[in-house]
Each structure stands twice: as C-alpha cells, then as structure tokens.
Structure 1
C-alpha cells in the first residue's frame, strides 16, 4: 500500500489516500487510534460513480464512524473513477436504462451481465485491501461492511470470516447466484430498504432478506425513492454497528 496524501480533518480524524496495486482508496482513522489502542474497521461500500463523486458522502460517513470509535476504508470499484473503462459493463448499464425507460421487465440475463462481472472483479480486491489494512498497527478486527452494492456486500460477508456484521442497502438488482450465497450469511445484518425505490425490485429485496441465514437480522423499510433515505436510518445503522463490532 502506497500512501499518496495525508490530511488531518478538523475533528482529529486522519484521512489517508492510498493506492494498492494501482487501485485508489481512502482510509480514515479516529484521533485515538494507535498501536496500543487499535480500533475496528468498517468497509464503506458505494455505488460505481467514482470516489471523487462520492467523497462528500463517504467522508461524512467516515467521520460519524470515527466518532463511534471506528476506522473506515474504501477503494475504487472496477470501471469507475480513474480506473480503466469497462465497455461491457457500460453497455449493460445502458441496456438496463433502456429497458426501464421502455417499461420492459429486467430479466435475469441482464441483471447477471450488469452485476456479476463487477462483483467477481471487486470482491478479491476488497479482500486484498482488507489483508493490507489490517496489517496497520492501529487497526484491528472485527470488521464491518456498510452500504454499497448489496451483491458485493453479500459476497464479502458470505466469504470473509473477518466480517462480523453488515449493514446492507437493498438498492440494486440482485442476480440469482447471489441468493445462493446469501444462504451462507450468518453474521448479524441490518438491511435498509427504500419502499418506493425506482431502481430496485422490492419483491426481490424482500425475498433476499428472507434468504439470509442470519439469526440476528432486521429489515428497516422507509417510504421514498432511492435517494430519499432519512437521516434516522443512518443513526440506526450506526447503532447496529456499535452494538455488534464493539461487542465482538
């Protein structure tokens, strides 16, 4: 990991920009994180819009996490930001937009083409980032996953034993194979659903929630579209992570 810049925010949070095998990333650590008092880490998921575009929301989430005693980190998704373009993925996104504009059903083949290549490429990169980040003396487990593409969150939670709790946002289409992986998810889950999300299949989201094998799982549904998440939803998710990461 190569740190490209450091910035001390006004609340004492240290922000480090880094690259890992050419992949840009961000790490935020609270002021009291040290080798003698290491803090748990939360992986901050985000949509494939680029870290620069998502930075205001990411840094706000990271600062709230730091106030709760957690470090936060994220990396750029494949095909986003300054990473090489991914024409096949761009075409799948355009095909989805075209189908939704025409009021056509979104079939499994289109969902698979849109989501699975991204998850297959991104999941190993996020695990590699976690390998490296947890070598820093000021960071420790347990690890939480928060937000972003729900299919990537499911993959990470199902396959990485270091993840002790996850906040998942049911805001995107989910391939059938991810449903099978969801059966292996047993950690505590806090799932957020916008009831009127224009870019999501509500019935599919409810079915996915039912599929999770976790004994400790809760579904938090709010009226409104994809971007209408109320502030109280973030507060509830933060409380969930405090309970489970600090208890672990």
Structure 2
C-alpha cells in the first residue's frame, strides 16, 4: 500500500488516498486515532459506478462513521473507475439493459454473468486491502463491512474471519448460488431495504434475508426508491456497529 494524497476535512477527519498494487482506494480516520488508541475499521462497499461518482455518498458515510469513532476505507472495484474494463461484464450489462428496457424478467444466466465474476475478483482484493489496513498502527479490529454489492458482502462474511459484523444494502441482483452462501453467514447482520427500490426484486431481498444463517439479524425497511435511504437509517446502522465493533 502506498499513500498518494492526504487532506484534512473540515470536521477533523483525515482522508488519505492510496494505491494497493494497481487498485486505488481511500482511507478516512479521525485525528484522535493512534497506535495507543487504534480505531475499529469499517469497509465501505459500493456499486460498480466508480469511486469518483460514488465519492459524495462515500465521504458522507465516512464522516458519519468517524463521528462515532470508526475508521473507514474503500477500494475501486474491478472494471470500475480507471481500472481495465472487463469485456464479459460489459456484455452482461448490455444484456441486462436489453431485458430491463423490454420489461422482461432478468434471467439467471445474466445475473450470474454479471455478479459472480465480480465477486470472485473483488473479494480477494478486499482481503488484501484489509491486510494492508490492519498493518497500520492507527487501525485495529474488529472489522465491519457496510454497503453493497450485497453478494460481495455475503462472500466476505463467509470467508473472512476478521469481519465481525455487517450492514448489507439490499438492491442489487443476487445469483441463486449466493443464497446457499447466505446460509453459511453467522455474523450479526443489519440489512437495509428500500421498499420501493425500482431496480430491486423485493421478494428476492426478503427471501435472501430469510436465508441468512445468522442468529442475530435485523431487517430495516423504509419507503422510497433506491437512493432515498433516510438519514436515520444511517444512525441505526451506526448503533449496530457500535454494539459489535467496540
């Protein structure tokens, strides 16, 4: 990991850009984090729109977490931002657009082609980022995961023992095989669902929640579309992490 930039935001949060191999990322932490008082870490998941486009929402989430004493970090997903495009993913996106524009049900084959290769590539990268971040003296465990793509969060919750709790954002297509992986998830979960999400299959989201094997899991559903998550939903998620990461 090489740090490439650093700036202090107006609320006492330090933002540091980094490169991990060829993967860009961002780390946020408060000035109070130190080797003697390391901050617990939350990994910020996000859709494949690129860090530059997602930055306003990511930094807002990071500032909210910093106010509760958490460090947060994110990385650019495969095929996003300035990273090399994935030809198979581009074809799957084109097929997805055609089916949605024709008001046809999205086929399992398209969902698998769109999501499964992304999960297979992204999860080891998240684990490599976690290795590097936890080597910093100001960062400590336990670790949380917050956001989407929900299938990435599911896989991380299954294979990464350092993640102790997760807030998952329903609203992305989920391959059927991921329902089997969801049954292996045992960490505490808090799932956010927008009831009127125009791009989400509500029943599939409810079925996925039912499939999770965690003994402690909660579903927080709000009225409104995909981008209409209310502020208080973030407050509830922060309380969830406060219980499990401190």
TM-score range, shorter chain: over 0.9
How far did 1:167 drift?
0.3
* Segments of 4+ moved more than 2 angstroms: none
How far did 1:34 drift?
0.4
Question: Does the residue aligned with 1:29 lie in a helix, a strand or coil?
Answer: strand
Question: Does the residue aligned with 2:232 lie in a helix, a strand or coil?
Answer: helix
How far did 1:61 drift?
0.7
Match of 1:19 in 2: 19
Q: Is the 8 A contact 2:148 2:170 kept in 1?
A: no
Is residue 210 of structure 1 aligned with residue 201 of structure 2?
no
Deviations 1:121-148 (A, max 9, x none): 0000000000111000111110000002
CA distance in 1: counterparts of 2:89 and 2:42, whole angstroms? 27
Question: Does the residue aligned with 2:213 lie in a helix, a strand or coil?
Answer: coil
CA distance in 2: counterparts of 1:130 and 1:44, whole angstroms? 12
Question: Does the residue aligned with 1:10 lie in a helix, a strand or coil?
Answer: coil
Is residue 62 of structure 1 aligned with residue 57 of structure 2?
no
Match of 1:35 in 2: 35
Is residue 88 of structure 1 aligned with residue 80 of structure 2?
no
Q: Is the 8 A contact 2:182 2:208 kept in 1?
A: yes
Alignment of 1:123-142 (within 5 A): 123-142=123-142
How far did 1:169 drift?
0.6
Deviates more, 1:233-242 or 1:41-50: 233-242
Question: Does the residue aligned with 2:168 lie in a helix, a strand or coil?
Answer: strand
Match of 1:159 in 2: 159
Alignment of 1:1-248 (within 5 A): 1-246=1-246
Deviates more, 1:219-228 or 1:116-125: 219-228
Give the TM-score taking structure 2 as reference length.
0.98
CA distance in 2: counterparts of 1:229 and 1:66, whole angstroms? 19
CA distance in 2: counterparts of 1:19 and 1:45, whole angstroms? 17
CA distance in 2: counterparts of 1:21 and 1:15, whole angstroms? 19
Q: How many residues align?
A: 246
CA distance in 2: counterparts of 1:228 and 1:17, whole angstroms? 28
Q: Is the 8 A contact 2:17 2:24 kept in 1?
A: yes
How far did 1:201 drift?
1.0
Question: Does the residue aligned with 1:206 lie in a helix, a strand or coil?
Answer: helix
Deviates more, 1:16-25 or 1:228-237: 228-237
How far did 1:95 drift?
1.1
CA distance in 1: counterparts of 2:133 and 2:186, whole angstroms? 24
